Amino acid sequence: MEQFKINEIQEKLKKAKSDTTHSKRIFALEEGKEDDNIQRGISKGPRRDWLIIADIYGGTHTQKFHLENYVNFKWKNKQDDTISFSYIRNGALLLYIYEEILNKRNAADALYTVLLNYYSSGGAISKFKSTDEYIQWAKKFL
């Protein structure tokens, strides 16, 4: 995936919706479900950092909040003035990025269909090492 200027992503986020229909639905099947199961004691493991940060600081469990935190961390940490989304293996966040940041609605629609089928049948995205590997897997079903 290509590199993007962090300040350009920050500007787009100012105008972006908190979530998209697709990202909300996949979050409910993905990290949202996982977080709920951890909090209810159904499964073990640490909660996702960004969800804990949202709870501590009064944020929301939206993909906009999720992306803002990552982008702002990169910016404040001065790691680089660019960002790539190639590391992301989170379906809800990828859908949000495709729809709200990259304006690739057709790609988001196709990915949503694959993810919905995948998670509805008990799949887990964590098995993929990178976004590219994840996208290659998804293309087999498109």
Number of domains in the chain: 1
Q: For residues 60 and 64, give the distance between their C-alpha atoms in angstroms, rounded to a whole number.
A: 9
- The band of 81, judged by pLDDT with boundaries at 50, 70 and 90, is confident
Among all chains, which residue has been given the structure tokens 């200027």?
Answer: 5
Q: For residues 75 and 73, give the distance between their C-alpha atoms in angstroms, rounded to a whole number.
A: 5
Q: What is the pTM (predicted TM-score) of this model?
A: 0.83
* Confidence at residue 22, expressed as pLDDT on a 0 to 100 scale: 96
Neighbours of 75 (CB within 10 A): 16
Residue type, 50: W
With contact defined as beta carbons under 8 Å apart, do 93 and 23 qualify?
A: yes
Summarised one tens digit per residue, pLDDT across range 50-65 is 999 999 999 899 999 9
* Confidence at residue 23, expressed as pLDDT on a 0 to 100 scale: 96
Range of the domain at 88: 3-139
Please work out, in degrees rounded to the nearest 5, the angle formed at the alpha carbon of residue 89 by the alpha carbons of 85 and 95. Answer: 70
- The band of 121, judged by pLDDT with boundaries at 50, 70 and 90, is confident
Indicate if the pLDDT at residue 11 is higher than 90. Answer: yes
Average model confidence (pLDDT) across the chain: 85
Instruction: Please tell me whether residue 92 adopts helix, strand or coil conformation.
Output: helix
